[in-house]
Each structure stands twice: as structure tokens, then as C-alpha cells.
Chains A and B, each alone.
Chain A
Amino acid sequence: MHQTPLQTPFPPPASLSRRRFHALAALGGAGLALGAVGPAQAQFRVEVTGVGLQQIPFAIAPFRLATGLPQDVPAIVRANLERSGQLRALPGGSAILDESARPDLAPWRAAGVDALITGSVNRLADGRFDVRFRLWDVVRAQDLGGLSFPVPASDLRLAAHRLSDFVYERLTGDPGVFATRIAYISRHGERHNLWVADADAENAQTALASAEPIISPAWSPNGQQLAYVSFEARRPVIYTHEVATGRRRLLAGFRGSNSAPAWSPDGRRLLATLTFGGSSQIFAIDAAGGGQPQRITQTSGIETEPAFTPDGRLVYFVSDRGGSPQIYRMTPAGADVARVTFEGNYNISPAVSPDGRWLAYISRINGAFRVCVMELANGRITPLTDTSADESPSFAPNSRLIMYATQAQGREVLMTTSLDGRIKTRLASAPGGIREPDWGPFQR
């Protein structure tokens, strides 16, 4: 199972001389909800609101499609690219254009399209499907390359995500995150489920079902394990869980409460909050198990929610040592503690972007809990939402989006936002609502 580039002379890597999309941005501004921008198909439940300043207009021409396909590959691609916030879908016309077509690009250029995707999905003799596409730079009339993915039916979504990754990377210069996975929690009555899903929250599969709550899922750096807090033993304990096999291990079941697991970037140990000394303190635990937890913080108050920087040199965490919950940072050994947040009296749930530039967290602002992002180089803070019950911010592995949980119409939903807060999308939900998202790392 693999992908193959369609052979053509590739131009130098993406430097589209593109006409950026300015018109609506001037009218819209941040936070103006324009409703569903772009008629993404209802089955994908993509609701994009807001308008970015610099969006690349693209179009997907109708693919040549085999009959009876279980997945609508072009629609998945379109929804993915729109959700990125950096690309904007324009109508793809009605004429079928597959990857071997040499389309007349002039009409597309006239319609304001900068990038055109053509392709096909064919049924192979062995029952698999071959997903092929080609990306055109409309402005410069250049072939930006294409790929072929021969896949079984069960991998058509994955092929669509890989296709999306290729297009996104070619057009923006950033790696795409569409083939990554997320974890989240659902609650429906007394049923609690830990799910693993595609980055668009579709194709969800249960990793753990329990009659008791589950919180704080955290992907291991290699994307193969989840650490989480389970209440199945009538107290919070931390498991590590190998997703593909279902093998799991009790990482921390110490007297009292065990919570807030955070993997070190090398995957060799976790920080977590334990309470066997009476108060909630951060400890280091060997990921392989065994050995005594090593205490990192030394206060009589609350120390919790550790989060490593991607280089592993600092840990952001929450402490009430100043009288209210604020975000601090320290070395992984607990030294050089410095306070990070000063605005407001409730700042929690720190998450550091994989590129190390940004800190996302939840801040109580006028009684509303909102996702904020701080640019670590200069401390500049931007509130990203206008909702009031945001939780659990988690960065995409390319640092371009933040996924978080919030409430909409009284229901728990997952959202993504761009780092300037301009582009938000609402992901799939489920009966009873879903929450506690954690965005997994890049995976092959």
C-alpha cells in the first residue's frame, strides 16, 4: 500500500504567485460569522465561519469516479482544505477533469481560481480503488504534481487525507495535518467512550468504553499510545493504552487522585498530578513503569496540568500559589519557576504549539471561559473565541490550528480555530456531546 507521484516535470516547490483573497476580509473582519462559507456537503458537517485575510482560492473539478464508491473523496478533500482556514473553495464547474486531463486554465483564472485539483477514483481489478489526482497552479499554468493511491475501500478516507496533505503543503509550504488522528471523549448517559478519529473527527472508533468518566487523553509522541485518566476504579487513575492492540497498563494508581498526564517529547516519561502527600502536586513517572514517582513541585497548594515544550526544556503548568490559578513555567526538574499569565484571576490548561512559538490556554474573561493564545516571544495575548465554556485547547501538529471543546446550543462540541481566531470550524458531534480533544502527532 503506497502512494506514487504521477510523473511530470515538477516545477520548483510551491511558490504560487497567487492572488490573495482580500475582498471579503475588508468587509468581514475578525469574528464576523458569515454562516457556512462554501457549500461543503452536509454529510461532512463542516461549518466554517469567519474570513481569513489571505486565503488561497482553489477549486476541485468533478473527478472521474467509479460507481458505488463508499466515500466521496473530492468532498472530503474540499472539507479538509476549507477547514485549514488558509484555502478557500470556489465552484468546481460541471465538466469532469481527471488527472490526465490538460485543462484550459484560462477560464479558471478568469473565475479567480489560483489552484485547481483534478482527479479520478477507479476500481482496480483486485477490488481496491486507485485514487489519483493532479494539482495545477492556475496563475502560472504549471503542473504542481500528483499522486496515485491504490487503496482498499477502507482506506479511501485516508487516501483523501493524504491527497489533502499534498495539496496543502504544495500551496502553503506547511505540512498538512489531515492524515493525523485525534482523540476525544464522549458521554451519553452513563456511557463514557474514548474515541480515536481522523483529524476531521470522522471515522471515529472506540478505544475505551466505560461506565465511569474518562478525561485528559494525551497522545504519546509516536502517536501509538494514549495516556488518560479513568474513574473506573472509583477514583482517578492514569492508564497508558496502546491504541492498535488495546493493551493498556496502569501507569499511576497511587493513593488519592492521579491525573493530568503529559508525555515528555522523547516519550520516556510522563508528568502527572498525584495527591498521596495530601495536596495536588506534579510528579515525574517513568513511562516504562516501575520506580517511584519523583516529586517535581513543592508547595502545599494546587500544582497541576503540566505541559512540555516541544524541545523538552520547559514545562508549563497551573498553580494557585499566587492565590488564584495561573500558568507558570519551570524546568522539568522543577527549577527556575516563573509566572507566565498575569491578566485575570483564572488561567488554566496550558498547551504549547509544536513549533514552540505559542501558548494556548483557557482564561476566564468577564465570567466566560475562552481560548487565548500567547505569543511566547513577546507575551502578546489574543483571545480567540467569543464563546463562554471553552476547554482543552490542543494544537495541530503543524501549529496552524487549535482544537478545543466548547458548548453550542447547550451541547458539547469540538471546534477548530486558526491562531488569529478568524477561521473557526465546528467538527462532528455525537449524542450527549463530545469533549476533551487531543490532537495527535504527525504519523505515516
Chain B
Amino acid sequence: MFMTIMQSLFGTRFGILFGTGGKHSSLRSQPLTRTLQAATVLCAALLLAACGSNVNLAEDVPVQDRTAVPVQQIGVAPTAPGVAPAAAVDQRAVAPVQAETTAIGQPPAHLERLVFFDFDQYIVRAEFIPLLEGHARFLAADRQRRVALEGHTDERGGREYNLALGQKRAEAVRRSLALMGVQDAQMEAVSFGEEKPASAGSDEAAHSQNRRVELVYR
């Protein structure tokens, strides 16, 4: 109970630092909100008086539990007065979450779904135009189908910048398909950057496999 109240009041397991005459100014890692100190002192003092597990050590004095704490010496008060402790949450706790993933749909048969790009290039090479025309015909024939154009880069460079470069490749494919008559609502250009390489290697052969846009049907 003591723990629970302390945590909800002070938001951590290490709530209180007792000053010793003001010379020692507490650890600065603690965001002192001076204006709140005085106001919260009363609550804290009551709690401490009730629970009494503070330890005020003196050099030549035996360790005493249940020592009263001078009110003005309590140094940390992050919580506004009058705020009732809600369900206590240990702010250093970590509650694990499992993400659920999204299933993908059936792609059209007999159509390749990979468009490769040259190094540092973001235009669709002519050799991939027939492939994209096949997808454009498929999408025109069934306006209910949706396709994600997933852009990818090789591993070199920063993750966020590569995400933007992968987006550029996906966008290039989207514009090509739009010119072939695919409706905007049927396509979404997204990027995986360097996060999902097709080939795990670090040589140019692997890199060339990874600079790509995948057409993924939903």
C-alpha cells in the first residue's frame, strides 16, 4: 500500500530526497518543480508519518526506522496537490505489446511483381513497362482490386532517408501506372526503405536485387 501510494504520488520508485540544510541541492536529474514542492509536502509528510520507512542516518547515531521527517526538508514534489492518485502505474515499468500484422491478398497469376532500379535512380526502366502494362490491364478489368507499390532501397545510408528514397521509387511506379489508366484509388505508394531486403548480402549483386518496387495486392 505504501508503495502504491508513493508511486502514484511521486510517479517513481525513488520519490524523496531529504535535504540536509540546503547545501546539498539534490540530484539534478530530478525535475524539481519548486512551486509544487511546498504544496505537496503535506501529503508526503502525512504518508511518511503513516508509513515511516524513511531512514535518516547520522554518523554516530544508530539507524532509526520510523524517524519523523521535518516537513520543510522534503525536496521533490512532481505531482500537483489535490490530484487523487489514480490507478497506480509504476513509471519505470514496461508493459509488453504484441503487434498484429496485416495479411496480403492474392496477386494476378502469370505477372511478375518486381521492378528493379539502378543505383541512385528513381525512374522506371523501359524493360519494366510491359510488366506494368500487364498490371494496369488487370487493375482496369477489376476496379475492386487494390495494389500497394512497395518501394525498397539497398542497405547503404540512413534508414529514414532510405525510406524517403524508397518512396520516390514507389511514386515513380505509381505515376507510370496512372499514365496507363489505373485509378488513383486502386494504388498506394508506400516505402519499406532498407528494412525488408530481398537479398541479405552486402555486395552489388545483393544491392541490385534490393533496389526495387514490389507490387503487392491486397
CB–CB A209/B27 < 8 A: no
List 12 interface pairs A-B (beta carbons < 8 Å), by A numbering: A2-B18, A3-B17, A155-B14, A169-B28, A179-B14, A181-B92, A209-B96, A210-B101, A231-B192, A244-B91, A259-B160, A275-B189
CB–CB B29/A216 < 8 A: no
Q: How large is the interface on B (under 10, 10 to 19, 20 to 34, 35 or more residues)?
A: 35 or more
Nearest CB on A from B217, distance (A):
11
CB–CB B158/A216 < 8 A: no
Nearest CB on A from B71, distance (A):
15
A85 at the interface (CB under 8 A from B): no
Minimal Cβ-Cβ distance residue in A for B155: A389
Number of interchain pairs (Cβ within 8 Å): 239
In the bound complex, residues from chain A placing their C-beta under 8 Å from that of B90 are 244
A207/B101 contact (C-beta < 8 A), A158-B13, A158-B14 known: no
CB–CB A1/B15 < 8 A: yes
CB–CB A234/B148 < 8 A: yes
Minimal Cβ-Cβ distance residue in B for A280: B164
Additional A-B contacts beyond A132-B57, A245-B95 (14; CB < 8 A)? A5-B17, A6-B57, A10-B20, A211-B99, A223-B91, A234-B101, A234-B148, A234-B150, A234-B190, A248-B97, A304-B163, A305-B161, A318-B161, A369-B157
Minimal Cβ-Cβ distance residue in A for B96: A206
Interface string of B76-111 (1 = CB under 8 A from A): 101000000000011111111111111010000000
A1/B3 contact (C-beta < 8 A), A165-B27, A213-B195, A215-B195 known: yes
Binding site for A on B (CB under 8 A): 3, 6-7, 10-21, 23-25, 27-31, 53-59, 76, 78, 89-102, 104, 148, 150, 156-161, 163-168, 171, 188-193, 195-196, 216
CB–CB A278/B171 < 8 A: yes
Contact of A4 among B13, B21, B54, B190 (CB under 8 A): B54
A12/B92 contact (C-beta < 8 A), A2-B16, A208-B97 known: no
A233 at the interface (CB under 8 A from B): yes
**A interface residues, how many (CB within 8 angstroms):** 87
A382 at the interface (CB under 8 A from B): no
